[in-house]
Structure 1
């Protein structure tokens, strides 16, 4: 039983990360779960995996409820923390989808309980009775929460998304156009109604409101890159949150991450995280 926690550590981190959208908080939750596990009479635990997922979910619920106040006072757009992932994850469509930046952003709009119910039901396949035990609600209440959450996510998640290979090609075109400093080339890669969000947290200079429209987004990004002293190495391809993205690099250090939504050969949404407190998940 002593090795059971380590056996499930990655699963537990993934559970907490999906719940919280924060690498730092997810790591804290896993550590708290480890402490709780070692205080438990493990000989009485019939299903360690289920027990640990339940523990992490409850700890995450408590953290999520307290985090809401902090996020309401956050400077500029709040984005989930980017996470470097293996290229292999893109082949597992369900797994990649549940950590994609677009879906994590949608999950942020659910209540903490709805988020927990959605994750336990849609990702882990828990029964309604099992979820009711975890979140402390009736089975009827859990079914209602699951339905609301499922409909909410379905209505707001991207309806048309490029496959990984296609998105990788689109992102590379965007990267080359930006590095070439050609406004016209950048515009050909952006959808006319693109929206761009930048999360600097008030620590790093970033647009504090979403940017709308291809021309606005293109000019803003070319202006940012024009200030880079190492333009050629300023944007490096990487798998971020299960999808092709770009790391922003300055003087050899990773200073941000760009994630994308793409459809019909163009980028429809662009999210950029440059808050240095949110870059822990970009370490190799």
Structure 2
């Protein structure tokens, strides 16, 4: 294929990523009809159908998926190499996409990245809140955030926080009407506030470890949320027990607004890490974000 037609491949990659001619055209800054013509011309030259089109959706054919899997990373690497030239400029630029849960985003990512964004206004940041184990390569994220023992071995992992502990808490008003649970199994007789995992649609099982025994409990209750802060607020308002990171309850415990239970069943575990695939050429913006998030015992 002549090099001048590489722009057609870029157009194909955009449609494949967006699964929409409308969104891809907006991203590329062209009309939808022009983009459709470009893709048809590419398919004609290659002699294969790359995309299946219906009135409601766009999907890859088997040939299209093969082409996308082969070339998307190559063009992304080219973009990264060009973006890395910002090392030679005074102001690094580029968009860094991160997927994380709301607790990590609120308590680690945002506080650490605010000074960086203020110093480098040309760096753009996108944070996607998700409790699922997102495939950052497939979803085209630059960085993911997970607990340390959940990261795939083929990823580069960087520690961004200390060890963590979870906590089961309820309001004094709730415990005035319900007994204190002594064992995780006692939670089956309590109103508990569930967390729905956005990516998988299921409910998160509360995990307990007393140093000898590990057990997961599927709880039930009136409320289900998909963010930690909503769960905490539900507990504060007396609607049941919440299972949340212990660093966000200290003030509420001190003020007598929450009571912590099952403490012996909440052992410390590895804290948050960022992870990303190996990059031979990382942009200056990417490196600055990683350095800003890197955890130090002096923090």
When normalised by structure 1's length, the TM-score is 0.28
- Between Structure 1 and Structure 2, the one with more helix by share is 1
**TM-score, normalization by structure 2:** 0.27
